[in-house]
Amino acid sequence: MTSRERILAALSGGKPDRLPTDVGATEHTGVLPEVYGPLKDGLGMSGGHTRISNPFCGTVRIERTFLDKLGVDAAGLFHEPRRWRAGELPDGTSCLLPEKWQPQEGPDGAEVVRHPIADFTLLRRPGEGWFSYQYDKAPLAGCRSREDLNRRLQTIALFDWPYHVDEIASEFGVRARERRKGTERAFVLNIRARIIGGAVVLRGDAFFRDLEENEALAEALLEKLTDAYIARLTDFLPETAPHADVLCLIEGPATHLTVEQYRRFIRPHHERLFRHIAKTAGLPLVLFSKGVGAELLREIVELGVDAVGFSTFPGTPTPAEVRKTCGREVALWGTGCRTAFLVSGDVSHVRREVTRCIEAAGGPERLVFAFGEPLPAGARHENVVAALDAARGIAP
């Protein structure tokens, strides 16, 4: 099979010739910049660049030659900046950053990133750790009514859209088409549209209180947030989806949300969003769970999710829990081999851990193997290669 056929067979319940693999096709399965250069050196690669198109997420845009060396089956499509500027990692290694990524020092000494259009502090980095940016205080925390929200529609539309990634939809489409030429990998289009997570970022923990104490405000926010996402997807899906094979989005955190609240307030908006995605793109959908419990995740999966991905966020179910709760009709994207093994283990440890993780997930059927979190600093190239080889050696 080609890589594209292998991925699509795993997602649809077919029988791929071997277990498909992914490194870097999503933010959750990417590579941290501190380890990208050492991994390339270990693989005998030279040249190229360490490009970090979204420093908030802090993962590298993987080069095609790197994917070729690892022999993985998926590649990611992400929005990128039009122009880059020279940057430097904490260890002095050179990298490329978006030209418009220009953090400033805040009054308290923390590094802050302000949104130049919506005019609010978007991200904050306290000082320790190069990639430890966090969303600043909830920009809509002071809203009390629908009228307050109507005055902040620009914030709702732009709060999670990185302004420094400034290519327009048609440019993204052209780049996606060019990347697809000459390769048979499956391309994963990463889209930003998380309704629960978006509401939490905009309102903070007050959103969960709104569901009990101010239902009108919660309903208005969910409606306007879904409207904004659909407008965004209407703009760029027609340009980019024809050059992709799979769509990927993230949802959560939702650790304080009950199933009853989900059904009453949020499910109708997910239904509308997923229906629009299916109509506009018609591609398999992978949902990465960020603190979405297994029972709640089952509700979302029923709306048209083809595969569930995993994060290390607290409250995220394990692959075994997803298979138990959601059934084997949903595929899994990423089962583990905890990245600590890639740093401190040896090849034999890594191979055993890969086998254990796949067995714990219920076997290799309907599975795309990925590490489930970005490859960390210190990951050894021989362990990464051993993990991928071990996964490919387990027949579905």
- Residue 253 has, within 13 A of its CA and on its CB side, a CA count of 16
For residue 166, with 0-12 CB atoms within 10 Å meaning exposed, 13-18 middle and 19 or more buried, which class applies?
middle
Band the pLDDT of 246: cuts 50, 70, 90.
Answer: very high
Local confidence band at 118 (pLDDT 50, 70, 90 cut-offs): low
Calculate what percentage of the chain has a pLDDT beyond 90: 78
Lowest-pLDDT choice from 79-88, 126-135, 245-254:
126-135
Q: What is the mean pLDDT of residues 300-307?
A: 97
| Residue 371, pLDDT above cutoff 70 | yes
Cα dist from 45 to 13, 69, 75, 177, 377, whole Å: 36, 9, 19, 26, 18
Lowest-confidence segment of 158-162, 176-180, 271-275 by average pLDDT: 158-162
How far apart are alpha carbons 188 and 190 in whole angstroms? 6
Sequence letter at residue 141: A
Crossing angle of helices 319-326/294-301, nearest 10°?
A: 60
Strand partners, 125: 111
Instruction: Look at residue 375 and give its three-state secondary structure.
Output: strand
pLDDT band at 120 (very low <50, low <70, confident <90, very high): low
Cα(224)–Cα(240) distance, integer angstroms: 24
Mean pLDDT, range 240-261, rounded to an integer = 95
Does residue 19 carry a pLDDT above 70?
A: yes
C-alpha–C-alpha distance, residues 229 and 192, integer Å: 8
Q: Are 75 and 180 in contact (CB under 8 A)?
A: no
In the numeric block, the tokens 């209407």 are attached to: 234
CATH architecture observed for domain 3-49+59-81+139-392: Alpha-Beta Barrel (3.20)
Q: What distance in Å separates the CA atoms of residue 162 and residue 370, rounded to the nearest whole number?
A: 26
pLDDT at 45: 97
pLDDT for the residue numbered 320:
93
Which among 204, 200, 197 is positioned nearest to 141, based on CA atoms? Answer: 204
What percent of the chain stands above pLDDT 70? 96
The answer, yes or no, to whether residue 61 has pLDDT greater than 80, is yes
DSSP state letter for 235: H
- What's the residue count for the chain? 396
Q: How confident is the model at residue 255 (pLDDT cuts 50, 70, 90)?
A: confident
Residue in this structure with the two tokens 């290669």, named with its chain if needed: 385
Q: Hey, what are 336's tokens?
A: 């583990």
DSSP summary character for residue 193:
-
The token pair at 29 is 């399965």
Do residues 169 and 239 touch, judged by C-beta distance below 8 A?
yes
Max distance between CA atoms of the chain, in angstroms, equals: 61
From CA 348, how far away is CA 161, in angstroms rounded? 42
Strands 246-251 and 367-368: unpaired
Distances in Å between the Cα of 117 and the Cα atoms of 104, 120, 121, 135 are 16, 8, 11, 17
* pLDDT the model gives residue 292: 95
Cα distance between the two ends of the chain: 13
Q: How far is residue 274's CA from residue 353's CA, in Å, rounded to a whole number?
A: 35
Give the three-class secondary structure for 120: strand
Contact 12, 367 (CB under 8 A): no
Give the amino acid at 189. L
* Residue 240 pLDDT exceeds 60: yes
Closest to 345 measured CA to CA, from 386, 389, 383: 383
| Distance set, CA 32 to CA 35, 173, 305, 330 (Å) | 6, 26, 28, 29
